[in-house]
Amino acid sequence: MNTPVVTQFDLGLVALSFLFAVIGSFVALTAASRVKTRNGRISLSNLVTVGVALGGIGVWSMHFIGMLALQMDVGSSYAMTETFTSLVVVVVAASLAVRYAAHNPDSLPRLAAAGTGLGLSVVVMHYLGMFGLKIYGFISWNVALVALSVVIAVVASTVALWLAFNTPNLSRRVLAALAMGVAVCAMHYTGMAAAEFVCTTDTRSAIPQGSDVISSFRLPSLVIVTTILMTVMLSLDQGFQYLRQRQMRAVAKALGARAAAARRG
């Protein structure tokens, strides 16, 4: 007998998902400001940082924390293939979108094309991640809300790319990260609202099993550990780059002062 699944959200985990979206966005915006070097070349390390921070932390980690915030009265698990494929998709797409836009960030057509590509990758990531959620039942979709989530993703991604190249100072970057966090969460929870879960078994507590499946009870530790590792690695990279830039500026200043002194002498 098909019966609707009773759902509710854990507000603490909803807040945590927003925090992850903001942290990922902030690191990505910081790295994006260094993607294009002074000689016009693209910095591969910063490009990877943007992809992992925005796609991996700001979108993927936010998504799965948001999924964990969804409390259901049925047993559930997650397929690892879909879970990690969705991570690769959004990280690669975010890196490629920023690379494409970075060549000429003042070009609105280029920005719109990159934003559309990034937005559609976020949509693929979200719904692939939801497809990886396994219950003894199925999902019935509200097509109008699915379409709205696609529009939100594309618009938010385009704005995110614009912000990536127009947030030169810390205060603007923080505000931009907060705005991006709101946009990413808006897309995610709109997509969640589009889904109605239907149970098809009388044993509602039964948890789907399989060699490629992990219980929803074990997923939080997996996502949080993965996110913390990504955040620490990227933050250390950006911190070292900042210190190196300060050192280079100090050396250049000292050399300039010596040269000026020599000319006066």
What's the pLDDT tens digit per position in 224-263?
777 777 777 676 666 666 666 666 666 667 666 676 666 7
Going by pLDDT thresholds of 50, 70 and 90, the confidence category of residue 1 is low
pLDDT reported for residue 242: 64
Share of the chain above pLDDT 90, in %: 29
pLDDT score recorded for residue 195: 93
CA distance 217 to 214: 8
Residue 96 and residue 158 in contact, taking contact as beta carbons nearer than 8 Å:
no
Which structural domain, as residue segments, surrounds residue 156? Answer: 3-264
Mean pLDDT of the chain: 84
Q: How many CA atoms lie within 13 A of 177 on its CB side?
A: 26
pTM of the model: 0.81
- The DSSP output letter for 206 is P
Rounded average pLDDT over 144-157: 94
Counted domains in the chain: 1
